[in-house]
Amino acid sequence: MNGLPKFDAIHKYVSEVRAFLLASKPSDFRAGTSLSVSKFPSGCCDDASTLLSLYLQDQGINVFENIYGETLSGKSHVWLQFEDLIIDITRDQFSESDHKVDLLIMEKADDWHLKFVNIVNRGVANHNQLSLLGAQFYFAMLDALNKLNAYLNDKST
């Protein structure tokens, strides 16, 4: 994985974003994203992955692409991926029975991710790309990123 920061740094950033999302309520987010209507991690894989991607870019990690996939039954899911490294910040919403998924960062696709079809690589979710998706969504994601940074600043003081 050329030029990729140490796994420990990535794990730290993913944990920070996940802690923020778990501590947040839908009412904490502006309208325009699934984060404002769904309780993380359920139903917000696309926007949670986008927020994580933006945060990683702020940390100098610009390589994770948003990957979209569908199950054979037509359900969709989104995660981040660079080469074989997968970050799936909402994977645990799909935990079966008592099996809770703790592994959100994988060095290669697990059997569950390999079941997806109609895979689309959406590329790195950067500010230019997001601005093309409409002002409401773009500003809602910027607001979420600002709230994430404020949350992390409060935690460090």
What are 53-97's pLDDT values in tens digits? 999 999 999 899 999 999 888 889 999 999 888 999 998 887 654
How many structural domains compose the chain? Answer: 1
pLDDT of residue 102: 54
- Which residues partner with 86 through β-bridges? 81, 106
Return the closest-CA partner of residue 54 out of 152, 115, 122, 144. Answer: 144
In a domain, 1, yes or no: no
In a domain, 153, yes or no: no
d(CA 128, CA 2): 25
Residue 154 included in any domain: no
Range of the domain at 114: 7-148
Q: How many residues does the chain have?
A: 157
Q: Residue 31 domain-assigned?
A: yes
84's tokens: 């074989």
10-69 residue pLDDT tens: 989 999 999 999 999 999 999 999 999 999 989 999 999 999 999 999 999 989 999 999
Q: How confident is the model at residue 4 (pLDDT cuts 50, 70, 90)?
A: low
Is the pLDDT higher at 55 or at 106?
55
Is residue 155 domain-resident?
A: no
pTM: 0.89
Kindly give the pairing relationship between strand 76-82 and strand 85-87.
Answer: antiparallel
H helices present in the chain, as ranges: 7-23, 45-58, 111-114, 127-131, 135-156
In-domain check, residue 86 = yes
User: Is 98 among the domain residues?
Assistant: yes
Taking the C-alpha atoms of residue 147 and residue 20, their distance in angstroms, rounded to an integer, is: 9
Tokens representing 149? 């940074």
Give a yes or no: residue 59 inside a domain.
yes
Cα distance between residue 150 and residue 10, in whole Å: 20
